[in-house]
Structure 1
Amino acid sequence: MGRRQREAPPPQPSPPPPDEELDIAAFSDLLRPKGLSIRDVANDGNCFFRAVSDQLYGCEDEHVNLRQLACDYLQQHADHYQHFIDEEQSFDEYVNEMRNDAVWADNLELQAISMACNVNIRVHQSGKPSYDIRNHPANNARAIHLSYHFAEHYASVRPLHTADLDGPAHHHPLPPPLPRPPSRNEPQQNEPPVEDNSSRTLRFRKKTQQHSVSSLWKRAERAHHDVSAIVEKARRAAKNVESSSRGAKDATSTAHAIDKDMKAARKRLETFAETIAFGRSAHRQRGRKNARESKLRLFTSGSASSENDSCSTQLDEGSDDEERYQSCVHRQTATICDALSAIERNALDALDKLEHLERGSKHSHAKHSKGSKRKEQDTRKKERKERRRRAQESVARGETENLCPANIPRLHELDIAI
């Protein structure tokens, strides 16, 4: 008998070329080794909200409520999102138009759904790397997975074990992003920190002229991280002073006021973090959109002469649009940095006050403990004198029945001596 040949494993679907997109069925087969499967939804202009409804509720029927929920969130936080709308249309007009049925969702709606529904979103793309929208810690938020096809259609990506079920899709939380190596434009870790906090805004504005838009958002995010650490340190110091001050009303009230201010500053920092995260995500989406449009222009151009003429005019328009976009990002990041520098100055002043209060409370506590020890010693002396006086009076009266047994032999000796 011959040796039995080993069966070959089933062929795995090959990944598409970088510039080619697959249809939904082929892309679903490509995601199957990762334990995922695509469930398509109706392509009626509500595909994004239908896909989110399938992820959260297991059906597409809640897409109307999710659309209104996202629009309500945008309307309530208009101050943070109105800067990302084109100048040709007001923010209220944009939101009112988005409330209508079959209006395509944009990047604003992804952010609004992430914030309103307390979810993190991962978007899978054929021929391109997936990207995440992270607005919440992984331990406190659900994760939903969507797929984006041909720059016009969303679908629901479910785990294989729930692909044929009607319930919601249960995904594992998104893993933390991998740390990126510092670029040449970013400062190294061994650089000495700058002591002058008042000139942070001036230094920021000088450096923004030398870097790209992505580096602007990175610098704003790093400044936000530093200021958040200072605010948290001031808040903990206020809690310590408030708990350690023994009866000092002034110190307690001051520490309580500082703690209240730091809580308000932390809320403002949360809004800034949301704006920075949205700005970076919008910049990535803009880069992908520009790349797609440039490819479409190359493939749909006609003759060589018409192609050169159209490309020159489109490049001029694109350069003007890019300049306006960069100036808008410059203004936003400069405004955020101004606010962060003001919060940082307030937090540093609060730390100085708390340090002074802590030194004063330690000194007063030492004096208080020293005085209380003296009072306790004086009280004990008085009690001993009082006991001796009562014992002498009882001995003089001959009252031995109320005395302790240790004193009775001494009284008998006293009687015999008498």
Structure 2
Amino acid sequence: MSEQYDKARASSSSSLNSSVQDAEDERTIANILSEEQVKDDRRLGKRLSHLDSIPHTPRINGEIPDVNDATLDHERLSERLITYGLAEMQVEGDGNCQFRAIADQLFRNPEYHKHVRKEVVKQLKHFQKSYESYVPMKYKTYLKKMKRSGEWGDHLTLQAAADRFVAKICLLTSFRETCFIEILPKDQSPSRELWLSFWSEVHYNSLYGSGDVPTRVAKKKHWLF
């Protein structure tokens, strides 16, 4: 009996230590990147400072546009990128693109998308009352879906990411009538900005100034894995 108790206590301690280590790792990475990121944020912010953003309404994904509409949307987004001197760091279109793009903005590595998804789902779970009214299904079902790798992120997960990482998420979109959307964290002033492109209902990428798109080299998985 004592041996079982010791094992259970060791397991609990290990889980706690892992959670603490995750938090410390995240802070370490964020601190390393913060100075560089603030400079990038300011440069990008100036390029779109004259644009009016619309109020963001959290929602789950709508219908995927047909091929013709999707093609026109992509052309519209490409024209806007050129107009505002922006360029995309392409992330993999495996269903995790929103989380990959956010991970690239946060940690300069899209491979940390699993960590971003985990933190977003944790935010959605712990603050259910703030989000459940936007979900037209059983909330537990929605959370279960969103935990799965490959499940597409939506406008509700964007809000949860803004809240969790205390970030203003700036979307340059392909919507005909909505070029620019800002998602602000609730009840907090953002400490950073994350810049994403949104080929509407199809794909997210990470945004940089033209000529500033980094070349990503596969890194050994560490820290957040």
Is residue 140 of structure 2 the alignment partner of residue 104 of structure 1? Answer: no
State whether residues 119 and 136 of structure 1, in contact with CA within 8 Å, keep that contact through their aligned partners in structure 2: no
SS of residue paired to 1:56: helix
Q: Match for residue 181 of structure 2?
A: 131
Q: 1:21 and 2:80 equivalent?
A: no
| Alpha-carbon contact 2:168-2:190 (below 8 Å) kept | no
Partner residue, 1:72: 122
TM-score, normalising length from structure 2? 0.57
How far is the alpha carbon of 1:22 from its aligned partner?
2.7
Q: Does 1:82 align with 2:125?
A: no
Equivalent position of 1:154 in the other structure: 204
CA distance in 2 between counterparts of 1:102 and 1:95 reads 14
- Map of 1:9-408 to 2, 5 A cutoff? 20-23=72-75, 27-28=77-78, 30-86=80-136, 89-126=137-174, 127=176, 128-135=178-185, 140-166=190-216
Deviations 1:352-376 (A, max 9, x none): xxxxxxxxxxxxxxxxxxxxxxxxx
SS for the counterpart of 1:61 is helix
Amino acid at match of 1:85: V
Deviation at 1:27, TM superposition (A): 3.7
Deviation for aligned residue 1:84:
1.6
| CA deviation map 1:76-101 (0-9, x unaligned) | 00122112221xx3212211211011
Separation in 2 of the partners of 1:150 and 1:132?
Answer: 15
Unpaired runs of 5+ residues, structure 1, are: 1-18, 168-418
Task: Report which stretch shifted further, 95-104 or 132-141.
Answer: 132-141
Offset at 1:73?
0.5
The structure-2 alpha-carbon separation of the partners of 1:30 and 1:83, relative to structure 1 and needing over 3 Å to count, comes to closer
How far is the alpha carbon of 1:33 from its aligned partner? 4.4
Structure 2 unaligned runs (5+)?
A: 1-70, 218-225
CA distance in 2, matches of 1:150, 1:34: 18
Q: How much has 1:114 moved relative to structure 2?
A: 0.3
Q: Secondary structure at the match of 1:43?
A: coil
CA distance change for structure 1 residues 96 and 165 in 2, over 3 Å: closer, same or farther? same
Given residue 71 of structure 1, which amino acid in structure 2 is its aligned partner? V
Shift of 1:43: 0.7
- Kept in 1, the 8 Å contact 2:103–2:111? The answer is yes
Aligned residues between the structures: 145
Say if 2:77 and 2:199, in contact at 8 Å, map to a contact too: no
Supply the distance in 1 between the matched residues of 2:211 and 2:188 (Cα, whole angstroms): 22
Return the letter of the residue paired with 2:148: N
Rounded to whole Å, the distance in 1 between the matches of 2:87 and 2:114 is 25
Change (3 A) 1:138 1:73: closer
Corresponding residue of 2:55: none
Q: What is the identity percentage for the equivalent residue pairs of Structure 1 and Structure 2?
A: 25
Q: Tell me, yes or no, if the aligned pair for 1:28 and 1:38 is still in contact at 8 Å.
A: no
Amino acid at match of 1:22: H
Change in CA separation of 1:93 and 1:138 when aligned onto 2, cut-off 3 Å: closer
Higher RCO (C-alpha 8 Å, min separation 6): 2
Deviations 1:104-137 (A, max 9, x none): 1111100110011111011111244211112269
Q: Is the 8 A contact 2:125 2:143 kept in 1?
A: yes
Q: State which structure, 1 or 2, has the greater radius of gyration over its C-alpha atoms.
A: 1
Report how far residue 20 of structure 1 moved. Answer: 3.6
Q: Deviations over 1:186-217 (max 9, x none)?
A: xxxxxxxxxxxxxxxxxxxxxxxxxxxxxxxx
- The answer to which structure has the higher strand fraction is 2
Residues in 1 aligned to 2:134 and 2:189: alpha-carbon distance in whole angstroms: 30
Post-superposition CA distance 1:217-258 (Å, at most 9, x none): xxxxxxxxxxxxxxxxxxxxxxxxxxxxxxxxxxxxxxxxxx
